[in-house]
Structure formats: C-alpha cells, structure tokens
Structure 1
Amino acid sequence: MAEDEDEGGFGGLYEDGHWVWDEATQALIFVSDLPPKPVETIQVPTKVPTGTVEFRDDVDLIEQIRFRRRYQRKLKPGQPDVITLQDVKDIALFTAPVSLLSPMLINMLHLPTTERFIRALIMYSQYYLQIADEMARRMLELEAKVRTPYCDMLENEFRDNLSDLRVLIAKEYSTMIIGGGDTRKFHHMGPQKKRKSLSDKDAHLFETLLRMTVQIVWLALGRKAFNQIELEINRIFKSETFNAVEHTLHTDYVAKMMKEEKDALLGICLRRDKKLNTRSPLMNEVFCHRDIDFRLLSLGVVKYNQYSARTLYMKRAVAGPEESLAEFGIVLGILGLPRSIFDTMLRPLPSVTEGKSKASMSSTSSYSASTKSSVSVKKNVILKLYSDIVLPTKEAKIPYFPSHFPDATEEIRPCSDVQRLRWLNRLARILYP
C-alpha cells in the first residue's frame, strides 16, 4: 500500500504536459499544460529625498545653552570674535536630523577643499539673488522704456560674473569627483581608485552633502530666500532636467524668465542634449568656449606671481581668513561680521536703539518673533546685515600668462579638528547610547 502511495505521489519532470514536433529545431519539445505562475514582484523600498529633510530652526533656550557650552567654537587668545564658516557649519550640524548625519559627512565637511567649495557657493548664491532682484526690477522698468546698448553691456557683465563664480564652484566640485587632494579617501573607488565602485554610497554622500550645503548657505545669507537658494543650487549641480526640487515645488521659475533674464542668470554655456547625455551647468562652465581666466581654476591652491584685482578678490573670498574680509571690502553673507551682534543661533539681535542692554536683548531675542512688529524689525535688520557684492571689473585681456604652470602652492588654511571631533563624538553618543 505504501509503495502504491509513493508511486502515485511521484511527480515526473514531464508530467502535466505534452510533446510536440518543432519544425524549426527538427526535434520534440515539451509543452506544459499548467497555467503560467504569476511573477512575484519585489517591493524595493524607496529612499526619502534629502530635499524633504527638515532642519530644526526653533531651538529653545535650554538647547541653545547646551550648544553654547558643548559645541560652540571657543575663541583662542587674541583671536577676533567674528563669524566664521565653522560657526555656520556648527549650527547646521546641531540642527540637522540624525538620519542625515554620518561620520563620513562630518569628516568631509571639515576639509579645506569642502570649505572653499561652500564659500564659493555662498558667494555665488548671494550674487545670484542680488542679480535676480536687479534683473526683475529692470524687466519691469523696461516695459515703459527702450533698451539701449548700455543695457546689453551691463547684463553681459552680470552674466560673466555669474559664470566666473560658477567656475569657482566647479573647480572644487571637480576635485571632489576625481578624489583629488584631501578628498582622496572619499572617492567611490577608494583612495587608490582600485576597488569596486561604491556608487550607491557615493550617491548618498553627495545628496546629504548637497542638502547640508544648502542649509549652510541659507544660514550664511541671513536665513532668507531658502527655496530660491535650494532651486538654484540643485539646478547648477543636476541641470533643469534632473532638478528634484523643481519637480517637487513646480515653480517653473526658469520658464517664467524673460530672455534677457535667462541670458544673464543662466549664462551662455548651456548644452542641450538627450537626457542621458545631460551635463550639469557647472561642468558646462568648465568646458565652455569663452574667455576664462586660467587662475580661476586653481584659486586658493596654486600660488601665482601676479593676480588681477578680480582674481585677488575671489581668492580672498574663497580661501582667505574670515577676520580679514571686512578689511578688504569683501562681502560674504554674515561671514566676517562681529559675533556679538548675533545670538547663539546666529540670528541678528534687536537694534540697540530700542534702549535695551545687551544682556536683556540676548535673553529676549528668542521671544522677539511673537509679535508682528518684532518680526518686521528682524527682517529689516537682516536686510541691512551686509551690503551687495561688487566684483572688480573683468580685464579685457589677461596681461599675465606664465611660460609654465606654477608648481608652488598656497598656504592651505586647516579646518578645526577640535570641532570635527566634537561632532563625531556627539553623533556616536546619539547612535550608540
């Protein structure tokens, strides 16, 4: 009986089907009579876009005291008390969600290349907002006026200035991509570029760095025009086609621009191609057929014998110490301003003309947003915190061109290793309590 059950339960390879003759192969083939099995689809979890990550901007007094005691940069004897890029980075790291942070991101934020990269982005974003407002005003005025050749000259100057500032960003961005200089250990194929590419890890690092950079730029510019800053930074890195922020907000800000605005704000180094061959506007600026001062491609790294007023201004803005920015008339957001006129979270304190002492102002600054009048006062203070950028005029022809490329390097300003270790220790305590 058992043998009959075993024999009846035996399932052969060619059961539930039949054989047919195939003329093409001149052979018998087996055709199953069973219905096809449904294909099981695997649900791949989608990553949350980093653009939707929210930073805390409503830090209470207790948290501010904790930040000031544990994480705020401590002044060295004789060091001027001005706002540095490290101060802005500290605020961004303190208010960032833990899901965005990683030891690799913290280490990368404390590299000289990354600091030059962020400072170039701050200068570009500030000048972009400045020119965007100017062009919007000019477009309104030109509705009742006639364009003159001077209009084209002025707008071409705006266009060239923005293009040169994009080159400064692209210079540092290219260094990160190829793993050059101090970014070698962050390359997706390892420091020696010999291991298997970690493309997913590299993409995640880039996205988190980009989101953190947007926050730092927004803080450095006095907490204004966040959406405009985020849209433009994502555009120059990812192009209009792959601008995820624009796909989310649906502003159509580029399509709404007039031709003159597009020429001035976007430049002429635009390469229209199929989606898979799309280059970011930053790379288009580097490979653009226009006159580019060769010194822009290595400002702050290679030491040249001669600098024009324009390149010297940009070098000091990107790689110079923050305490000397005001001395040379360089405007870089709130960087270089006295830290005493800001509260712990780098918000401007109320005006001294209100008749309050500095102690009373610092104690009540967190509550100043409770009334409409105080909000309007704060906005006026932010608008007057720093003046507009005035770039030196571009030379008609580069008078200096070396016979060979210089091999001398500039003195690289190191980042604060103390602050880097503080943020690494804080992240370790949060992740592994």
Structure 2
Amino acid sequence: MIRVHVDNYAPKYYSGKWSWDSKKDVLHFEPHNDLEDAKDRYITTNSFKFLRTITQEEELVFRHVFVRSDTTYDTDAVVLNDIRDLVLYFMPREFLTYKFVDFMHHRAVYQLLHSLTIYFEYFLRMVEFVMIRRDELSGSMAQIQSEQTNDMKRVFSMYLSQYRMLVARNYSIIIKGEGDLGKYYHMKEIVNISATIWDKNFHEQFLACSIQIVWIAMHRRAYNIIEMEMNRLFSSEHFVTARMEYPIFTPVEKSLLYGRNNKIVNYRMQVSPLIQELQNPKKEDLPILWIGDRKYRGTDIRIMEMEMEYIVPAPQLRLIDVTHGILGHPKRLYNTILELDWPAVRYSNFSLKHDPYFIVRQPRLAIPKMDATKRCLMAKTYDNFFKINEIYDLPSHALNIKWVKRDKLIKHYRSGGLLTNTLLRAENEVNSTSLGPSVDQIIADYKKAKAKHRKH
C-alpha cells in the first residue's frame, strides 16, 4: 500500500453546519458524519452519481492515501492530475476497473483533458458574450449591430473553432487505438469483432469523468453548459438530452458557437463535431495539428499564442498572463476538494494591479484586430526542425491497484482507527525507528530529478 506524507490530521474542508451554543456563548460546528441521505451528497452526471461533498473522515483518507506526494516539483500548485485524482475519488464504484483507471492515467488522455480545459475556458467566455449580446439586441433599448461587430464575431468563432480543432486532434489519437492505446480499442485484432457494449459503457464513463474534471477546473461554474457542450462534442446534437437547465441558442448563435464545420444530418450518418473539424481544415490552420509535438516556425501570431498557451505548464501560466480555470493556482488558496478558501484569498491581498491568477480580475475576450482573418491568410509557415518533449510520469502498477481498491482502503482505514485514535497515532510515531532514506539515496534521487527537469 502506497502512503503519502500528510502534514497534519486537521481537516481542511469543513462539511457540516454551524449553530449557536447559548451556554458557552460561542459558535459550535457540527460536522456531517453521515451524508448518505443528504440531498447535496451527490451530483448526477450523464446518469452517473458522483460525490459532491465528503465527510471529514473521507477527507482524511483522501489526503493520507490518494493525494499526490509532496515531494513533486509542482506540489504547491494545482495541476490537472490533482483534479483527476479528486474525480477518481468521487466517481462511482462501478468505474473502478483496472483498465479504466489505467486509461485515465494515460498520456494521451492527459493531453485530451488539457486541451478540453483550454477549449472550455474560451467557450464559457463566448457563451457569456452571446448572452450579453442577446440582451443588447432585444427590448425597447435594442442596439444596432455594425459591420465591425459582425467581423469581430467571425473572428471569435474562428478562434473557438481552432481550439476545437486542437481537442479533435488529441481525441483522434485515442480513437485510432494505435500503439499502447490498442489495448483500449473496441475491435479485437484477430477475430475483428467489436465489443460494442463494453465500448459504449467505457465511452460513457470517460465522458462523465471528463465533464467532472472540466467542471471542477472551471471553478465549478456553468455545470449545465459544460455538460451539454461536452455531450455535443463527443457525440452530436442527436444525443444531447433536452433538459430545462440547458440553454437554447438561436441558429445565429449556434453558427457563432459551433463554427462553420458543424453539420447536422441523419443520425445514422452523423459524425461528432470533433471529427467534423478534421474533415475539412483550412490550410492556414494545419500547423495547429502539430502544436505540442513540433515547434511552430512561421509568422502567424495566432498559432504562436495557441502554442504557448498549450505547452506552458500550469504552474507557469501566470508568467504569460493566461488562466485556465484553477490550473496553476496555489494550493494554499483551496481546500481539499479544490474549492476556493476565501479567507486565504482575502489574506493574499490580491488587487487589480496584483492578480496573477485572475481571481479579482474577470477573464474576458480580448478584442481582436479587425484584419485578423487577413493576417492568418497572409502568414507564412517554414519547415520544422525542433520537436517538443513533454515530461509526463507514467503511473505505476501499484498506483493503479491503489485506485482499484479504493473502497477497501477506505474501509480499512476506518476500521483500523488510524484516522480517529490520536493516542494510537502518537504511539506509532514515538515507537518508529525509521531514519528515512540514506544520504546516498537522497543524492541519487536529486540528480535524477535534476536531469529530468533541467536542461543540460
């Protein structure tokens, strides 16, 4: 069993209610020890029930067993792996198979989730822009649109399609099932028989986890919009359930949000919008297919911006003044389930002039140049000479087994008294004779980490 060092056993996420103790004349906190019947215990995503909140005991188990080790170089920042681990802890029991857990830790899946967070960061801004323009164009004080406004909308739609193309590129790598992704492919190699039912369940489970990961990454806002758009991207509008919570867009708004490649045909012939983005790409957008793999050499500023936004690690996003939800934010500003700890934010003294994480500032759409489309057409692309190598640690077999045995580990820790008996914990720490790793081992680990994360 893998164990991770925990700084203390005090809870960071307080799940319960406050009441006034008239005898002591103070506020008294009553933690939720049994939330099985609570209405806000679960959140339903595509008919699957994920945990929304946890008890203090479940929090301590998560922090003691399942969180990332504090010896990693980016442990003080929120990264995509932190959100993925939280969703793995929240997801239903039927998801906990070795193949699915191993799939969620795959490098190609990480790249897809990374591109999805970038896409939805821009998509949610576009939806907000559409809603504001809808109010401005209706009513007795309606405004008249100019040709410049229409040009700006076309540029916004083009940018959104480019982000969608980046997601489609990463998604197509997975569905092709090449290389080590072949073990997740639905078609068996020898008999060429498709495991249709298994593939359907596998796809729905991954889609539900992706919705949860993106929703948490986006500060847990606009859940219905994220769920609706995610289902549309990976399936089509034929498979998006009609719900009252989902917004209804006009044909003009759909053309702005979904792009020129979006086409609705008979459901038997329908392909997903992601694949539609790759069927007829523009010539000037072809370098997008190599972002993250080859270093772009050309004069298109837009592709340069997309490349920088994609390859810069989450902890360094503040250096380029870009935000992707909560990615790259300091962990000290968040509790265990990655909700903002407002007292910590208040004591950080952020302001409009000092706000590297866009907590005070409102993320917005930058008004593009009116000739942005012409600039893309006139841009030149040169031959590529450099490849980009991404550092990604592959999961170990023990890590996957730990997640598969999640419920057994939780039950073990609850029954063993490790999380509740303070005296037993103190006695074990006093009786422990372990001195930790040797000096030679510490030096070897340091040199290994230096060779991995530094350039020679």
TM-score, normalization by structure 1: 0.73
Query: Cα RMSD (Å) of the superposition?
Result: 3.0
2:123 corresponds in structure 1 to 128
Q: Give the residue type in structure 1 aligned to 2:143.
A: K
Structure-2 separation of matches of 1:354 and 1:90:
27
The answer to whether the 8 A contact 2:323-2:358 is kept is: no
Structure-2 separation of matches of 1:225 and 1:94:
22
TM-score, normalization by structure 2: 0.69
1:208-259 deviation digits (Å, cap 9, x = unpaired)? 111100000001011111111000110111111122xx24x25563xx4234
2:276 corresponds in structure 1 to 284
2:321 corresponds in structure 1 to 329
Structure-1 separation of matches of 2:236 and 2:309:
26
Structure-1 separation of matches of 2:130 and 2:328:
28
Is the radius of gyration larger for structure 1 or structure 2?
1
Q: Determine which of 184, 187, 204 is the counterpart of 1:186.
A: 184
Tell me, yes or no, if structure 1 residue 425 matches structure 2 residue 402.
yes
1:387 corresponds in structure 2 to 363
Tell me, yes or no, if structure 1 residue 397 matches structure 2 residue 377.
yes
Structure-1 separation of matches of 2:74 and 2:359:
28
1:230 corresponds in structure 2 to 227
2:391 corresponds in structure 1 to 413
Of all paired residues, the percent bearing the same amino acid is 24
Which ranges in structure 1 are unaligned for 5 or more consecutive residues? 1-48, 357-380
After superposition, residues 176-255 of structure 1 pair within 5 angstroms as: 176-190=174-188, 195-243=192-240, 246-247=241-242, 249-250=243-244, 253=247
* CA-CA distance at 1:130 after TM superposition: 1.0
User: Relative to structure 2, which stretch is displaced further, 316-325 or 327-336?
Assistant: 316-325
The answer to whether the 8 A contact 2:157-2:256 is kept is: yes
* CA-CA distance at 1:291 after TM superposition: 5.1
Q: Determine which of 262, 266, 274 is the counterpart of 1:274.
A: 266
The answer to whether the 8 A contact 2:224-2:246 is kept is: no
Going from structure 1 to structure 2, the CA distance change for 1:401 and 1:309 (only over 3 Å counts) comes to closer
SS in 2 for 1:121: helix
The answer to whether the 8 A contact 1:124-1:165 is kept is: yes
1:387-410 deviation digits (Å, cap 9, x = unpaired)? 34659875422533346xx58642
Going from structure 1 to structure 2, the CA distance change for 1:355 and 1:314 (only over 3 Å counts) comes to closer
Structure-1 separation of matches of 2:317 and 2:345:
27
The answer to whether the 8 A contact 1:50-1:207 is kept is: no
SS in 2 for 1:270: coil
After superposition, residues 23-422 of structure 1 pair within 5 angstroms as: 51-76=46-71, 79=74, 81-143=76-138, 144-190=142-188, 195-243=192-240, 246-247=241-242, 249-250=243-244, 253=247, 256-288=248-280, 290=282, 292-306=284-298, 308-352=300-344, 384=360, 387-388=363-364, 390=366, 395-397=375-377, 399-402=379-382, 409-415=387-393, 417=395, 421-422=398-399
The answer to whether the 8 A contact 1:161-1:391 is kept is: no
The answer to whether the 8 A contact 1:317-1:332 is kept is: no
* CA-CA distance at 1:125 after TM superposition: 1.5
Going from structure 1 to structure 2, the CA distance change for 1:138 and 1:179 (only over 3 Å counts) comes to same
Structure-1 separation of matches of 2:361 and 2:326:
7
Figure out how many residues of one structure are paired with residues of the other and give that number: 352
